[in-house]
Structure 1
Amino acid sequence: MQRVNTGHVELARAQQERWDSAYAQRPQLHGSEPSAAARRAVELFGAAGIDDVLELGSGHGRDALFLAGQGFSVHATDFSEPALDQLRQTAQRDGLDDRVTAALHDVRDPLPPADATVDAVFANLLLNMAFSPSELHSLVAEVRRVLRPGGRFVYAVRTADDPSSQYCQQLADGLSAHDGFVGRFFDEDLVGELAGAWQLDELRPYDEGRRRMLLVAMTRPPAGT
């Protein structure tokens, strides 16, 4: 097993550079169709009467633009400026720039919103990225901090039985590497650990193309619980 410095500036910087390069070399890297998780988020957020969504790890914006097209106001964040430039250009082209804002942010840092000011947070595949366990717990705690009581967090992750895992090099701290990208596959135990201070509303496995995924929907409990 190869050792890697997890949770350190070097790994974060290397991954940011790898993603910047990928987005620059292949514009619209993930295609234009929204993820299955974004489609489910629209249903859940709509049923809860939510209008505004904070998306973390938006990439070039396929889900942010879909959410905006469904009537939500979306504040999209990512740590890749090339990806965000593509998001802004597409939003302007499609007439959605009044519903989508995009800001550069690395979720290893505290989230920008003040406490209890956000109605909903969405993240597709973000939590699979190269985070140490402590960084993952800190991120989820930050999401809980910025959500209002009763606010919703919907995220989707690739699972440990994803077929691509067999081609990955195993690193320390539960991380894997392939083609210069480093990340973490999830199982239900890890979801349960991260959901400790939440109301877990939905935990659903599904397939998306060749990916094996878990959709997780959680609610921040009322204050004092």
Structure 2
Amino acid sequence: MAEDHPRLAEAQREHWQSTYGTHPGMYGAEPSDPAVHAAGVFRTAGATQVLELGAGHGRDALYFARRGFTVRATDFSPAGLEQLRAAARRQGVAARITTTEHDVRTPLPLPDASVDAVFAHMLLCMALSTAEIRSAVAEVRRVLRPGGTFVYTVRHTGDAHYGAGVAHGDDIYEHGGFAVHFFPRHLVDLLAEGWRLDEVHAFEEGALPRRLWRVTQTSPGGLGGS
């Protein structure tokens, strides 16, 4: 896995870029259910700024902007981000959305304690090693203000595709060209160390259906605190 992983990660980047180019707006215009839930959580927490990791073509980033949040949307696919920007202009929310091409395996290009809330729908369960996932979550904690909220979703080991397709080690399986890191529950708990773990909610999505967890955790402190 150690030798294969960089090759796999680059292949996945190319696969997503091609997929967005071939299937513009592939997930539709409606926000995901986790994004709708997260918007309520963020509003209750007093957040005004949202960082979305792995925004893709932007259905959730656009929803956050329509709800009045200022959004920074990141993704490693230029094609997805271009579709997001075009949709933001059509919907009249371009002034509230900033896009940044970013690979989650690298540090976030943001200062410490600079955002109120972070959202990531199925980004952490992409072709990332456990070490890379832990590093990404550490970066989320770094850029969150004290008391900031992180809502993420991941497919877990109860999913029908877990163990199917091409095995890449570290609970990563490739099926239909997409590689997924399926989360065991202990990984969720590991990522919450040093945070307040608010909720681990099991849900299903799609026709398979995909089985996921929606995780909400809060960094220590309070918004605006020290």
TM-score by length of 1: 0.93
Aligned partner (choices 92, 97, 100) of residue 103 of structure 1: 100
- The yes-or-no answer on 1:215 pairing with 2:214 is yes
Which residue number corresponds to residue 57 of structure 1?
A: 54
| Aligned counterpart in structure 1 of residue 136 of structure 2, from 122, 136, 139 | 139
The 3-state SS of whatever aligns with 1:204 is strand
Report the 3-state secondary structure (helix = DSSP H, G, I; strand = E; otherwise coil) of the residue aligned with 1:162: coil
Shift of 1:4: 6.5
Could you say which residue in structure 1 is the equivalent of 2:78?
Answer: 81
Q: Percent identity, aligned pairs only?
A: 49
Name which of 109, 114, 120 aligns with 2:111: 114
- Name the structure 2 match of 1:148: 145
Most deviating of 168-177 and 57-66? 168-177
The equivalent residue for 1:157 is 154
Q: How many residues align?
A: 221
Give the aligned partner of residue 28 of structure 1.
Answer: 25
Q: CA RMSD in A?
A: 1.6
How far is 1:154 from its partner? 0.5
CA distance in 2, matches of 1:144, 1:166: 31
Q: In the alignment, is residue 15 of structure 1 matched against residue 12 of structure 2?
A: yes
CA offsets 1:15-64 (integer angstroms, 9 cap, x no match)? 11010000001111111111111011011001011111000000000100
Q: CA deviation at 1:12?
A: 2.3
- Residues in 1 aligned to 2:108 and 2:16: alpha-carbon distance in whole angstroms: 20
* TM-score, normalised with respect to structure 2: 0.93
Aligned to 2:177: 180
Give, in angstroms, the shift of residue 222 of structure 1: 2.3
Contact 1:117/1:148 (8 A) holds in 2: yes
**Other structure's SS at 1:16 match:** helix
* CA offset digits 1:107-162 (Å, max 9, x no partner): 11100111111111100000011111110110000100111110110101112112
**Residue 11 of structure 1: CA displacement?**
2.5
Moved more, 41-50 or 10-19: 10-19
Which 5+ residue runs of structure 1 have no aligned equivalent? none
Shift of 1:7: 4.8
Q: Secondary structure at the match of 1:165?
A: coil
- Tell me if the contact between 1:5 and 1:11 (Cα under 8 Å) persists in the aligned partners: no
Is contact 2:65-2:97 (8 Å) kept? yes
Check conservation: 1:151, 1:220, Cα contact below 8 A: yes
With over 3 angstroms needed to count, the CA separation of the structure-2 counterparts of 1:213 and 1:177, relative to structure 1, is same
Residue in structure 2 matched with residue 71 of structure 1 by the alignment: 68
CA contact 2:156–2:184 (8 Å) conserved in 1:
yes
**What is the Cα deviation at residue 163 of structure 1?**
2.1
Rounded to whole Å, the distance in 2 between the matches of 1:154 and 1:85 is 24
CA distance in 1 between partners of 2:211 and 2:129 (Å): 22
Residues in 2 aligned to 1:26 and 1:159: alpha-carbon distance in whole angstroms: 26
- For 2:2 and 2:30, the matched residues in 1 are separated by 34
Which amino acid in structure 1 is aligned with residue 134 of structure 2?
H
Unaligned runs of 5+ residues in structure 2 are none
User: Is the partner of 2:161 in helix, strand or coil?
Assistant: helix
Measure, in 1, the Cα distance between the counterparts of 2:183 and 2:105: 19
